[in-house]
Amino acid sequence: MIQALTPQHLNRIDELHHQLHLTSFVHTQGCETFAFVIEDEVIGFISGLLIDDSVELLNIGIDVNHQGQGYGFQCLKQWIAYLKDRNIKTIFCEVRASNKAAIRLYTQCGFKQTRIRHDYYEHPNEDGLEMRYDEP
């Protein structure tokens, strides 16, 4: 389940960012990160940034040894439910066009593609897909 980040989680969350080659936003002002914990082990995280009355999903990551077992889905679903409780009904995100696992996950959780940003990403150059979730 998702847990509000505590100082005890930080090393493991840093390790996961490193393992997954993700930029960390944990210390970015306004960013809220949750640890995703299974049987007392942190196996993932999710970070979001509140912008007015919506949230940008900055990052979600699941340890490579635990991917493909539905944990990303659980993590994102729980986070969406948490945001709903806070009356936040719109979530945005940006994803590399080649990141099929993330696109599949977001789609499965109700996100829709809203536009393509050509050559949005560098290293390597790649289109970005903007996706959006609206609470039904």
**Interacting residues toward ligand COA by CB under 6 A:** 20, 22, 59-62, 67-73, 95, 99-102, 104-105, 108
Q: Locate 124 and state its tokens.
A: 């390597």
For ligand COA, give the closer residue by CB, 48 or 61. Answer: 61
Nearest residue to 71 via CA among 43, 110, 99, 107: 43
To the nearest whole angstrom, how small is the minimum distance from the Cβ of residue 119 to ligand COA? 18
Query: How far from each other are the two terminal CA atoms of the chain, in whole angstroms?
Result: 23
For ligand COA, give the closer residue by CB, 11 or 98. Answer: 98
For ligand COA, give the closer residue by CB, 74 or 90. Answer: 74
* Coil, helix or strand at residue 2: strand
Q: Is the dihedral of CA 37, 38, 40, 41 positive or negative?
A: negative
To the nearest whole angstrom, how small is the minimum distance from the Cβ of residue 60 to ligand COA? 5
Residue closest to ligand COA, measured at CB: 72
How many CB atoms are closer than 10 A to CB 47?
24
For ligand COA, give the closer residue by CB, 24 or 59. Answer: 59
